[in-house]
Amino acid sequence: MAESADWLTAEEQRAWRGFVRLHERLGGRLARLLQAESDLSAADFAVLVHLADVPEGRQRQQGLARTLEWEKSRMSHHVARMAGRGLVVRQECSEDGRGAFVVITEAGRAAVEAAAPLHVAAVRSLFLDHVTPAELRTLGEVSERVVAKLDEES
């Protein structure tokens, strides 16, 4: 089976491994800074940013899990922890007894609004300050194309 693999070329491997390292290191650094400065985990921030951007600050829990590429159980446990801290509430869906909504609270909105400037400053200093406008455009185009393909397949 290994013989039939379409192995990466040296250039492909360099680019792929560089991308993975970038993703891991940048994500880790942003998460540590966010936690230290705002007491929000990267996962908390992702949930709150998404909810702050949708109408009425609420979304079905299953849809939120799909959006964030999380397993259903991870979403359920994380929402429970966030609800315990007053950042979100879980509301049953009246039309569908099996479904539930996750709703951002005023405390959650305040937390994400306080953390957002810190996050933006970190993204700028750790990433954006080190790429040219042309590289940024290329990265945006590549990212959009790959995400669109992934969305097609899901």
Residue 2 is assigned to a structural domain of this protein: no
For 86-153, the three-class secondary structure string (H helix, E strand, C coil) is: CCEEEEECCCCCCCEEEEECHHHHHHHHHHHHHHHHHHHHHCHHHCCHHHHHHHHHHHHHHHHHHHHH
Helix (H) / strand (E) element for 60: namely: strand 58-60
**Is 45 among the domain residues?**
yes
User: By residue range, what is the domain housing residue 109?
Assistant: 15-153
Q: Is residue 27 part of a domain?
A: yes
Task: Look at residue 3 and tell me if it is in a domain.
Answer: no
* CATH number of domain containing 58: 1.10.10.10
Query: Number of structural domains, the chain?
Result: 1
H/E run at residue 80: helix 72-84
Average pLDDT, the chain: 94
The predicted structure's pLDDT at residue 108: 98
In a domain, 4, yes or no: no
Inside any domain, residue 125: yes
Question: Does 90 score more than 70 pLDDT?
Answer: yes
**Residue 126 backbone class (left: φ over 0; alpha: ψ -120 to 50; beta: rest):** alpha
Asked if residue 67 has pLDDT above 60, the reply is yes
In a domain, 137, yes or no: yes
Inside any domain, residue 95: yes
